[in-house]
Structure 1
Amino acid sequence: MSSQFELAQNPTDAISAVKFAPKNPDELIVASWDRYVYHYDIQADHGGKLLQKFEHPQPVLDACFGRDDMEAYSACLDWSVRRIDLKSGELTVMSRHEKGVRSVIFSATYNLLVSASWDSTLHIHNLNSPPGTYTTITLPSKPFSLSASPTKLVVAMANRSLHIYELDTLAKATAQPTIVDVEPWQRRESSMKYMTRAVACMPNDAGYASSSIEGRVAVEWFDPSDESQSRKYAFKCHRQNQDGQDVVYPVHALAFHPVHGTFASGGGDGVVALWDGVAKRRIRQYQKFPASVASIDFSSNGKFVAIGVSPSFENGMEDLPDGTIKVFVRQLSDSEAMGKKK
């Protein structure tokens, strides 16, 4: 049976990220423009329980768990990347960029924390090294989204460009904590005509999906062979017919199911859809949420999906109406996110 509930204590400003803990599927962190990272136990009470919240000097644009369920990292508009000790509440600055930090991601395989900033740099932190030790990689343009597979890091940037790095190369680069010229494994241009909004890697290490501000998703494979590249495709989604007009919405969020390899997309239309990227089919579409879908994440066991909802730029609102900022948690049935049978 599927069931869905809303978290009892939601953030007070736009949601930038929802992320499940790597091991415990009941633990969730939420990053918000209200300057807090929230830590929840989604099963503790009816509507979940807010365990703690961690104040930052500026809005938090992203967050992720680290080496275990008691460690998180945040990307802040004050240019800083911070470690959050979820037990003691202590915040430690890992590095400072020269502009706001847009994304932060952790690779358990290589023990690397990667942050991406609007100063067009990546900071690569080897978590075996002390805070303040990191390697800087310069990007050709502003990064919008990061995602990691078991061996690759995909950086989606302005000008529809994507860089794919091999994580073992980045790990070796951290041996010299300076600015280094690390060549990407592959440079690609998005197959979509408009700005990339989000990117998410397949859990099986085969490729990634990316989305645009113009209601499209592209599915691509890492393998550079002509055969693999001929499989890549893009499709239209998150569009609604209003009074005979096709209204197109940005696709803000993408997330792959860790077990079935299907993926979810969330758009400015307030809709979440599940897709089978191999069969090129939509599996299902959920009911419309009260505002734009900002972030989606599946729990590590694939039994829950968290959906962060808040008005976005397409809503054109200066003041956010009450009741439009919410985090929903859906418990998935066993077959709900399974791909289509051949």
Structure 2
Amino acid sequence: MSNQKPVGILTATKINDAGAPAHVLASKLNGDLLLYQLGNMDTVSSQITLDTGVLSSCWHPTSNTKAYTGNLDGTIWDVDLEKSIVNPMNSSHLLGVRKLMFLDENQILSGSWDKSLALTDIRSPLNHKYRVGLPGKVLAMDSSFNSYETVVSMTDRIIHVYDKRDFSKPVNVRESGLRYQVRDLKILPNRKGYATCSIEGKASIEYFSEQDLHLNYAFKCHRTPQQEVDLVSPVNCIQFDERERLFTGGSDCRICEWNYHEKKRLKQFSKEPWPVLTMSIREKYLVYGLSDDGYKNMVSERNEYSVEESSVGLKILD
């Protein structure tokens, strides 16, 4: 019997950065880029399919028609969503581009499974600016658009903190407060630290300053009580809103809302049909991506697994 590969898995859902919230870009592991109107999330308004899987995507910070993708084959693509035109950029990565984000209006930072960061200037014909070797594969990263902090999480629990004006050397190297693989990372709204989440059903709050390290803490989440033990689900994504509320999405098919200052869960949203793999928040809008990630539990590649269709949802926050 032939296997069906998990090609339809969502890898990112992003609300546009420029102007009022109006559009949502969703990317998939099979190369699909789906564009939605924020007011009509049930219908795909346009679709582009690349000839490589998409691991990460982002909007240009000043355009509602330009987007960029970081791909499974190590390439970065410039995408004109209005004209359905895609152009490859000069990328130095040899393996998948796990994370992609703008540092300012002209520079993209990419983090790869080939153990490197790369800085790309979209104005340059050659694009590639420089590349930095890392001690581990990039799993998650975030950068403060209006400040200088950039945090990169890697395999082997390695965390690098950079000043985005100079990536030649990290300003701080530390070990993750979580024991198992990190799935997502976001800088705190006050820019004093960052939050991470992992496959072990935990999230953490960690601070930059040595004087604040005693405030670091981790907490259990996305766990389902059973008769004798809890069923632990991976926490796949993490986001903050403008009111500094923390949101987590997990493979238990739930989104949770937290007050991270008081270490308290405020709300658990209704259970979704499939695991929550991605989230994006802007103003009162929370967009999330649902995908069937059950293929990860297959004991053998010979097992046949039929992947359910992914979907994108919207919640209006209070």
Amino acid at match of 1:163: H
Match for residue 236 of structure 1? 220
Deviations 1:1-49 (A, max 9, x none): xxxxxxxxxx981111111101331211001012111111121x4x454
Picking from 78, 100, 106, the partner of 1:104 is 100
Picking from 292, 300, 311, the partner of 2:292 is 311
Amino acid at match of 2:125: P
Picking from 159, 164, 167, the partner of 1:162 is 159
Quote the offset at 1:230 in angstroms: 1.1
Stretches of structure 1 that go unaligned for 5 or more consecutive residues are 1-10, 171-181, 334-342
* Residue 190 (1) aligns with residue 179 (2): no
CA RMSD of aligned residues (A): 1.9
Match of 2:280, SS state, is strand
CA contact (8 A) 1:93 1:131 kept: no
CA contact (8 A) 2:183 2:235 kept: yes
Deviations 1:45-72 (A, max 9, x none): 4x45423222111211111111322211
Quote the offset at 1:298 in angstroms: 0.3
For residues 297 and 274 of structure 2, the distance between their equivalents in structure 1, rounded to whole angstroms, comes to 8
Quote the offset at 1:314 in angstroms: 4.7
TM-score, length-normalised on structure 1?
0.83
Task: Flag the 1:221–1:111 CA change in 2: closer, same or farther, 3 A.
Answer: farther
For residues 245 and 207 of structure 2, the distance between their equivalents in structure 1, rounded to whole angstroms, comes to 14
Calculate percent identity across the aligned residue pairs: 28
Task: Flag the 1:203–1:72 CA change in 2: closer, same or farther, 3 A.
Answer: farther
Match for residue 328 of structure 1? 313
Picking from 65, 89, 95, the partner of 1:94 is 89
Match for residue 218 of structure 1? 204
> What are the residue-to-residue correspondences of 1:140-159 with 2, within 5 Å?
140-149=135-144, 150-159=147-156
Amino acid at match of 2:186: A
CA contact (8 A) 1:268 1:314 kept: no
* Residue 85 (1) aligns with residue 66 (2): no
Deviations 1:61-86 (A, max 9, x none): 11111132221110111210111112
Q: Which has the higher contact order (CA 8 A, sep 6+)?
A: 1
Picking from 28, 33, 40, the partner of 1:32 is 28
Match for residue 248 of structure 2? 265
Task: Flag the 1:131–1:69 CA change in 2: closer, same or farther, 3 A.
Answer: farther
Quote the offset at 1:321 in angstroms: 4.4
For residues 191 and 43 of structure 2, the distance between their equivalents in structure 1, rounded to whole angstroms, comes to 34
Match of 1:169, SS state, is coil
For residues 318 and 115 of structure 1, the distance between their equivalents in structure 2, rounded to whole angstroms, comes to 34
For residues 329 and 33 of structure 1, the distance between their equivalents in structure 2, rounded to whole angstroms, comes to 21
Quote the offset at 1:95 in angstroms: 2.9
Picking from 25, 43, 46, the partner of 1:52 is 46
For residues 318 and 276 of structure 1, the distance between their equivalents in structure 2, rounded to whole angstroms, comes to 42
> What are the residue-to-residue correspondences of 1:292-311 with 2, within 5 Å?
292-299=275-282, 302-311=283-292
Quote the offset at 1:124 in angstroms: 0.6
Amino acid at match of 2:149: K
- With 66-75 and 159-168 compared, the bigger mean Cα shift is at 66-75
Match of 2:191, SS state, is coil
CA contact (8 A) 1:165 1:185 kept: yes
User: Matched residue pairs, number?
Assistant: 303
CA contact (8 A) 2:121 2:127 kept: no
Task: Flag the 1:274–1:39 CA change in 2: closer, same or farther, 3 A.
Answer: same
CA contact (8 A) 2:118 2:128 kept: no
CA contact (8 A) 2:153 2:160 kept: yes
For residues 82 and 216 of structure 1, the distance between their equivalents in structure 2, rounded to whole angstroms, comes to 34
CA contact (8 A) 2:195 2:205 kept: yes
CA contact (8 A) 1:21 1:27 kept: yes
Deviations 1:161-213 (A, max 9, x none): 1111111224xxxxxxxxxxx11111110111112121111233222101111
Quote the offset at 1:132 in angstroms: 3.0
Amino acid at match of 1:194: Y
Quote the offset at 1:221 in angstroms: 1.7
CA contact (8 A) 2:177 2:206 kept: no
Match for residue 124 of structure 1? 119
Match of 2:165, SS state, is helix
Match of 1:247, SS state, is strand
CA contact (8 A) 1:93 1:132 kept: no
Deviations 1:128-172 (A, max 9, x none): 4335332101111111111112321111100001111111224xx
Amino acid at match of 1:168: R
Match of 1:230, SS state, is helix
TM-score, length-normalised on structure 2?
0.89
